[in-house]
Amino acid sequence: MKASLLVILCPAKKVQAQFLAEQFSIPIVDGSHLAFAKPREIEGFVRSHVESNHSEPCFVFLLYKQGLALAQVAEDNLLSVRADFSSSTVNYRRQKGGGKGQMIAKAIGLNSTTAPHVYDATAGLGGDSFVLASLGCSVTMTERVPEVNALLADGLRVAHEWGSEKDQSLVAILKRMTLVESDAAEYMQTLEDAEKPEVVYLDPMFPQRTKSAQVKKEMQVFHQLIGTDSDADLLLQIAQESAQKRVVVKRPRIAPFLAGQEPNYILEGKSNRFDVYLSH
């Protein structure tokens, strides 16, 4: 499933819109007159430019003044996601989120004297990478789905612009985050020994449970757009060959181990867990 349309909702974004439209070979619709419209008006406008007989949801880029979003246009709703590193919610989590006491920090081996170089092979919208970078780690990211990669790149750019004006500490965090446009397996297999990260972090998509509680909108959109990572078992093997110190796999708490391989140890929360595989 791919994005089929780009809607401009800010007159100043036309150059960026043209670049994205050419990159994804999709048409542009000018909705810049709706720059200050209510969400329902924007949804109505988007629906009027999307075929109404879709048996499955379709995807549309929305280019706002505040950045790029990807909307899933389904029969009964319109869900949109974007990579966000500078909103008040993100800033609050950065300041009050638990610091190095967080499970993810413990899982990658971060402590008072060590901030390892982490390779996030399945970066998504960069949330976990941002947490690790905010705790002092240098993080290299790849995201192989082109639409999600575009969201991530735009989110980093928007946050850097915002931080340059209002928060230099955010700029320092973003400088520790590097986005590489590549498939994770291909990227890891090209690394020389001296380039290999201390930690490889994997968060592969897990099949969505059909009768579970309402899944947060980001995951709903991702499941429709990406499906499942059918090569996750292979990715674990390549990651183990590439990590100097450990591979950390984020999983739903009830999920089976990747490749049926039991980790060296597990850190478990209410809904997720981190499987830690130490390098030998």
Q: For 226-264, write each residue's pLDDT tens digit.
A: 666 678 899 999 999 999 999 999 999 999 999 999 999
Where is the domain boundary, 46, 64, 81?
81
92 and 63, same domain (yes or no): no
Looking at the fold, whether 151 and 45 belong to one and the same domain comes out as no
Tell me: do 106 and 57 sit in the same domain: no
Q: Which of 100, 107, 106, 104 has its CA nearest to residue 277? A: 107
Residues 158 and 103 in one domain: yes
97, 131 contact by CB (below 8 A): yes
Domain count, the chain: 2
Q: At which of 81, 110, 145 does a domain end?
A: 81
Give 12-55 pLDDT, tens digit per residue. 999 999 999 999 999 999 999 999 899 899 999 999 998 755 56
Residues 195 and 236 in one domain: yes
Whichever domain contains 36, its CATH number is 3.40.50
CA distance 230 to 85: 29
Judgement on whether residues 229 and 95 belong to the same structural domain of the protein: yes
pTM of the model: 0.91
Q: What is the pLDDT of residues 165-213, one digit of tens each?
A: 999 999 999 999 999 989 999 999 999 999 999 999 999 877 655 444 4
Looking at the fold, whether 69 and 92 belong to one and the same domain comes out as: no
pLDDT in tens, 103-146: 999 999 998 788 999 999 999 999 999 999 999 999 999 998 99
224 and 180, same domain (yes or no): yes
Residues 47 and 101 reside in one and the same domain: no
User: Are 227 and 247 in a shared domain?
Assistant: yes
CB contact at 8 A, 131 and 90: no
Residues 232 and 153 in one domain: yes
CATH number for the domain harbouring residue 264: 3.40.50.150
Name the residue range of residue 43's domain. Answer: 3-81
- Evaluate whether 118 touches 201 at the Cβ level (below 8 Å): yes
Both 31 and 130 in one domain: the answer is no
Q: In what order do the strands lie in the sheet with 3-8?
A: 28-30, 3-8, 58-64, 67-73, 78-81
